[in-house]
Amino acid sequence: MIRLISVALLSILIANVESTPCTFVTNGQQITYGVRGNTIHFRVVLTGIAPNGSGWTAIGFGNSMFSGLDVIVVRVLNGRIIVTDEFVRGFQSPVPDRQNNVQVYGLRYENGVVVASFSRSVFSTEQTDANLSGCSPWKFTVGLNRMSPQGHLFHHSQTPVHRVVCINQCTV
């Protein structure tokens, strides 16, 4: 019996050690991400958002807007949360990919807290989707940024934070 319990405890311990998601945290914002199999899971949490709040935040993959960024855009618009797979090259608003490769599996907007959970594969056949295997450059947009009533993104108010993410070190 005791042996069984220790085996169970050990496997819980190993499971915890093996699953180490990564996070990006700034004032009022937390992004948790990690890979499982060939899928990267994301959870974006924004706090202090007004009930009629509006704006956008994003996670970009690539070196710069100039060279082209694959972006997952989270829009807060009229009390709704919209998550889209987009691409931008040059200093303009991104455009949605022909094919959406982001699967949204949870959206919540309550008491000033926005939570969006979604996933994408590490790589896809679509040219506008960055290959995120190995180590790749990511950009985190800070907070909720201004947007037109139609959802057209205006320039971010702070320079996005650049990080090289080695996705195998972030697991869920």
Which residues bind to ligand NAG, rule: CB under 6 A? 50, 52, 54, 123, 131, 133-134
Shortest Å, Cβ 12 to ligand NAG: 33
Which residue is listed with tokens 């190993």?
14
Between 23 and 133, name the residue whose CB sits nearer to ligand NAG: 133
Between 123 and 154, name the residue whose CB sits nearer to ligand NAG: 123
Q: Are 107 and 118 in contact (CB under 8 A)?
A: no
Between 13 and 80, name the residue whose CB sits nearer to ligand NAG: 80
Q: Are 169 and 18 in contact (CB under 8 A)?
A: no
Shortest Å, Cβ 77 to ligand NAG: 10
The gap from C-alpha 21 to its chain's centroid, in whole angstroms, comes to 12
* Phi and psi angles of residue 133, each rounded to the nearest 5 degrees, phi first: -75, 155
Between 50 and 161, name the residue whose CB sits nearer to ligand NAG: 50
Shortest Å, Cβ 29 to ligand NAG: 19
Stated as kind and residue range, the H or E segment containing 63 is none
- The C-alpha atoms of residue 154 and residue 142 are separated, in whole angstroms, by 13
Between 43 and 75, name the residue whose CB sits nearer to ligand NAG: 75
The gap from C-alpha 7 to its chain's centroid, in whole angstroms, comes to 36
Shortest Å, Cβ 38 to ligand NAG: 10
Shortest Å, Cβ 168 to ligand NAG: 11
Of all residues in the shown chain, the one whose CB is closest to ligand NAG is 131
Which amino acid appears at position 5 of this protein?
I
